[in-house]
Structure 1
Amino acid sequence: MIICQYSLFFTQVKIGLSMKSSFVAKLFGLCPCNTTSMTNLAVFSVIIADSLRFTSALSIGLAVLFLIIAVGISIIKIISGGIGMPRLFPVITDAASVFDLFTVVPVLMTAYVCHYNVQSIENELEDSSRIRGVVRTSLTLCSSVYLLTSFFGFLLFGEGVLDDVLANFDTDLGIPFGCALNDAVRLSYAAHLVLVFPVIFYALRLNVDGLIFSSSRRPLVVDNLRFSSVTIAFVLIIFLGANFIPNIWVIFQFTGATGAVCIAFIFPAAIALRDRYNIATKTDTILAILRIVLAVLSNAVAIYSDAYALINEKKA
């Protein structure tokens, strides 16, 4: 449960970092502190909403709009001959460059580990059997958005693509109405983040309250003081994290290499090894052990590579 809350919290910080770096500072020309304060005020209006149905639907529509614009820009530049052939394979020059390849794994883990919202979403469904369809649809939609964004983002910006691809939409695209399209991309995605924030924040607040106030007989929804205190405290912590953590890539790497790996690989394998009902076969046990070993080794290398890169960056 603590690992789940850890992942939830840093997911909030990642959203804050995205809003800080790609929305206000570039769209309105404000400093980072004013940026995050402004987006926090916007988020407050939907954090306390009774229903997140419409905000969730609108956030999906805005993410698709962002993707359509990015794909459209790429297609226009391909037709006009403004995109060269991107490099398809990594450049391996020494041992350090080999270790750098492992830093991608935690980012992928972070992208696909969203389990902590499944239970709360299932509780909101009138027919709980619909959760399977919800999960399948979500995975299909998210996978499509991730793949298309990464493909067309890399195709459009090549080796110049930044850790936060939205930051690339602050340059001259070399096409008519480029500035307007840049603003549209940042604005649509920033609005998407504002609307996604409370969906994840709901699970974070509920889990933390259950851990800290487990002995309380009053549910969180009827205790206004506890509800307000937990909400304000986490918004302030997320605000500080979004302002003082250097960039979103750092959060993706370290949460993916720790919390996400535990949730997706180590904990399920540990449950299989425990085999409470004596239904696991020998093959299941071997696969569970291999799963834990591979997860620990690969992400130990990833954490080492991340820390090594950060230390070298500070020295430089």
Structure 2
Amino acid sequence: MSPAAATGAHAPLLPPDGKPGKQASVSGAVFNVSTSIIGAGIMSIPATLKVIGVIPAFVLILIIAWLAEISVEILLRFTHSGDSTTYAGVMRESFGRVGSVAVQICVLITNLGCLIVYLIIIGDVLSGNKPEGSVHLGVLQERFGYHWWNSRVVALLFIVVFVMLPLVLYRRLESLRFTSAIAVLLAVVFVGICSAMAISALLEGKTKTPKLLPDLDSHASFFDLFTAVPVIVTAFTFHFNVHPIGSELGKPSDMIKATRISMILCAAIYFTVGLFGYLLFGDSIMADILVNFDQSSGSAIGSLLNDIVRLSYAFHLMLVFPLLNFSLRANIDELLFSKKPSLEKDTTRFLYITLALLAFSYLAAIMIPDIWYFFQFLGSTTAVCLAFIFPGAIVLRDVHGISTAGDRIIALIMIILAVVTSTIAISTNIYSLLGNKS
């Protein structure tokens, strides 16, 4: 099948944009992969260390990063053994229409949920929020007071129109390599300031000894350990962008190399921010560490550092947004318009889907004050499916006859780990949610 004739499951998620001979660089792929990984999940890592302890968290981050790399290698191997060039297409080859729709729905729920959460976080940073009656001022209110132009509705609208819209109109992920590099740099700035503040507090004797191992003094504490797995799985889930990024590279080994480098980089960033964030705030660490940084500081320098931390991550999320939107748009198009010509050939359809997704995300972020419980369930359901359950199922199905005994063992481990921890995490979250409402 020629690329020009490819449609539906066989259509590349990444359009050539008229330059089929132009190949992406490994460095650009590293930045795009790393930016796809480091999203809002980093905010919950310090709280995870508080729950399970420093040593188990370090081990868990390494194990999940390693399994995520293996699952990516599985997807690429089965992709190049078949005819499809998308995640949904690979699942279609193994499980038919049901498999491809399952992937598309999981990408829809995961990515759209993340995009809404990103806009909510950006709105919180700029314009503040009022969770459960307590007031958290945004940076704009702290610096300029309350005005119509720095309200949540107007501030987010400005960001969506002048920052998000130009970026989501790109048709090649390689075009986002520079913004992705900036996004990684902003994440490093965030980690660097957290580390510096924690080290300063440590030297002044203001930190408490971190918990190296979890407290298992009750059944609730034991089951809370399983809620940490989906959080970290979500933090390493970028599988929806494996095919778009990989299709621009010259050879499959380049994507594997880019993934390996990104996993090492992201694991280091996650553990560093987790450790120093935990040291800095101790047991008062919130599920979203940015909430800790909006507390008033006793000095002008401390207040400035708090604002820099919050703004750096808000800008980081602005640059992550187009990467998640890219695969979301492609999967929605593949789900709804599988019989139509490929998306890059239909500018009208491309614009309609792009603008509809952007408008829906904005309206949802404005109308829904808090969807953090929904975000917690993503890691226990759709993200786990995309990262581990679907790749493991592809190996066990083995329609191309390329799975080894080792592949099948790892696939079983991934599926069992995902199902058991997700079931316990979902049950624990439901129990916690019902307990808070009673």
Question: 1:20-58 CA deviation, whole Å, 9 max, x = no partner?
Answer: 223432211355444433432331132224621211111
Pick from 231, 234, 253 the counterpart of residue 110 of structure 1: 234
Q: Does 1:63 align with 2:187?
A: yes
Asked whether the equivalents of residues 40 and 235 of structure 1 are also in contact (C-alpha less than 8 Å), the reply is: yes
CA distance in 1, matches of 2:345, 2:204: 60
Asked whether the equivalents of residues 46 and 198 of structure 1 are also in contact (C-alpha less than 8 Å), the reply is: yes
Counterpart of 2:263, as a letter, is: L
Pick from 15, 30, 34 the counterpart of residue 118 of structure 2: 15
Pick from 140, 146, 162 the counterpart of residue 28 of structure 1: 140
Structure 1 residue 173: Cα displacement: 4.5
CA distance in 2, matches of 1:46, 1:288: 37
Asked whether the equivalents of residues 163 and 248 of structure 1 are also in contact (C-alpha less than 8 Å), the reply is: no
CA distance in 2, matches of 1:58, 1:288: 35
Q: Does 1:215 align with 2:339?
A: yes
CA distance in 1, matches of 2:208, 2:299: 15
Asked whether the equivalents of residues 7 and 260 of structure 1 are also in contact (C-alpha less than 8 Å), the reply is: yes
Q: Does 1:234 align with 2:357?
A: yes
CA distance in 2, matches of 1:235, 1:43: 8
Pick from 409, 418, 430 the counterpart of residue 307 of structure 1: 430
Asked whether the equivalents of residues 227 and 421 of structure 2 are also in contact (C-alpha less than 8 Å), the reply is: no
Pick from 141, 146, 158 the counterpart of residue 270 of structure 2: 146
In the alignment, structure 2 segments of 5+ residues that lack a partner are 1-102, 129-137, 142-149
Structure 1 residue 95: Cα displacement: 2.5
Asked whether the equivalents of residues 110 and 252 of structure 1 are also in contact (C-alpha less than 8 Å), the reply is: no
CA distance in 2, matches of 1:59, 1:168: 22
Question: 1:71-102 CA deviation, whole Å, 9 max, x = no partner?
Answer: 11111111222222234444444323322222
Counterpart of 2:140, as a letter, is: F
Asked whether the equivalents of residues 16 and 242 of structure 1 are also in contact (C-alpha less than 8 Å), the reply is: yes
In the alignment, structure 1 segments of 5+ residues that lack a partner are none
CA distance in 1, matches of 2:375, 2:305: 27
Asked whether the equivalents of residues 227 and 425 of structure 2 are also in contact (C-alpha less than 8 Å), the reply is: yes
Asked whether the equivalents of residues 198 and 279 of structure 2 are also in contact (C-alpha less than 8 Å), the reply is: yes
Asked whether the equivalents of residues 122 and 314 of structure 2 are also in contact (C-alpha less than 8 Å), the reply is: yes
CA distance in 1, matches of 2:238, 2:359: 23
Counterpart of 1:20, as a letter, is: G
Q: Does 1:121 align with 2:241?
A: no
Structure 1 residue 104: Cα displacement: 1.3
Pick from 261, 268, 271 the counterpart of residue 384 of structure 2: 261
Asked whether the equivalents of residues 69 and 181 of structure 1 are also in contact (C-alpha less than 8 Å), the reply is: yes
Asked whether the equivalents of residues 233 and 379 of structure 2 are also in contact (C-alpha less than 8 Å), the reply is: yes
Q: Which runs of 4+ in 1 moved over 6 A?
A: none
Task: Say how many residue pairs are matched.
Answer: 314
Counterpart of 1:76, as a letter, is: S
Identical positions, percent: 38
> Residue 166 of structure 1 corresponds to which residue in structure 2?
290
TM-score by length of 2: 0.65
Q: Which structure 2 residues correspond to residues 177-216 of structure 1 after superposition, within 5 A?
A: 177-216=301-340
Pick from 78, 86, 96 the counterpart of residue 210 of structure 2: 86
